[in-house]
Amino acid sequence: MTRRILVPLDGSVTAEAVLPYATSLARATDASLLLLRIITPGEIGQSLFWKTTIPAELRREWTEEALTRANVYLASVAERLRARDLHVVFDVQPADDAATAIVARAEHESEVRLIAMTTHGYGGALRWAFGSVAAKVLHATPTPLLIVRSNGGEHPSVTEVPYRTICVPLDGSPLAEQALATAQPIAARIGATLLLVCVVTGDDIAEARKYLEGVAQRLRADRFNVQSHVVEGIPADQIIYVAQTEHADLIVMATHGRTGLRHLWLGSVATRVVHSAELPVLLVRVHQEEG
């Protein structure tokens, strides 16, 4: 295996909501899954006060117990996934801060090409505030990040999800088009439709249609099934609206860079889409900024 999807878990059903989406992407891209459990000091009672009052031997015992529980948990999750013919490895890592450890693991392990996480809720009094961890990872990692809204603490109703239509918002800039480099291999592997969306104001409609049709023609020449929509309105709202009405299964979009047609900040649009969309969102960090 040359590619891995890093899936941070905290032992909660909330965090596991990402698994159906991550496993589908792993199958679509022939990637393996790396399940990562970060053990923070707060989970084993190591507050600053307790560190000065609890004997070191007892603190070590608590740490070993936490690491053992985490390994048993990840082993059980990995076993379920391997039963579906997926390649899965797992690791437990002590760290002071979960988000920092996740970002560092993705950066230092060259095989990791994607991080997949949920966005809301937390797994219990001793587990991560998973929404805040995901937000920190979103702002810190250069690695593509799949964000999935949690399902209210319920077990996932499906083991995998289909990616039949992939929505790719574009704004007329090469920076936004970098999302296509991530979306195209997924679509090619599973035969998904690429749904291109461009949000503009009235004066830019003709220009946007010409631009989007040019992109669509290039993709069709490469044998992709493509739909394109030019709409007016607030970018994040319209991206979500088109994705929902056209029954998209995934939104893939760039996260930084000055946009082309209306010179908005695509990073802020992406953040609003993540916060509001019910669909999973795969965010791709652009490789360079415009001058």
pLDDT-derived band at 47 (thresholds 50, 70, 90) equals: very low
Asked if residue 87 and residue 141 are part of one domain, the reply reads yes
pLDDT of 231 > 90? The answer is: yes
On whether residue 159 sits in a domain, the answer given is no
Q: What is the mean pLDDT of residues 48-76?
A: 78
User: How are beta strands 4-8 and 32-39 bridged, if at all?
Assistant: parallel
Asked if residue 180 and residue 270 are part of one domain, the reply reads yes
Domain of residue 115, CATH code:
3.40.50.620
Q: So what's the pLDDT on residue 127? A: 40
On whether residue 156 sits in a domain, the answer given is no
On whether residue 101 sits in a domain, the answer given is yes
Question: 108-154 pLDDT, tens per residue?
Answer: 998 999 999 987 644 443 344 446 788 888 888 889 999 998 766 66
15-39 exposure pattern, b = at least 16 Cβ within 10 A, e = fewer? bbbbbbbbbbbbbbbebbbbbbbbb
Asked if residue 108 and residue 217 are part of one domain, the reply reads no
Asked if residue 271 and residue 192 are part of one domain, the reply reads yes
On whether residue 220 sits in a domain, the answer given is yes
On whether residue 114 sits in a domain, the answer given is yes
Asked if residue 251 and residue 218 are part of one domain, the reply reads yes
Report how far residue 224's alpha carbon sits from residue 220's, in angstroms, rounded to the nearest whole number: 5
Domain count, the chain: 2
pLDDT of 14 > 70? The answer is: yes
SS3 34: strand
Asked if residue 140 and residue 10 are part of one domain, the reply reads yes
Q: So what's the pLDDT on residue 272? A: 87
Q: So what's the pLDDT on residue 159? A: 83
Asked if residue 101 and residue 37 are part of one domain, the reply reads yes
Domain's final residue, options 87, 119, 148: 148
Query: What are the strands of the beta sheet with 145-148, ordered from one edge?
Result: 88-94, 32-39, 4-8, 112-118, 145-148, 281-284, 250-254, 165-169, 193-200, 226-232
pLDDT of 170 > 90? The answer is: yes
Q: Which domain holds residue 252?
A: 165-284
Q: So what's the pLDDT on residue 247? A: 96
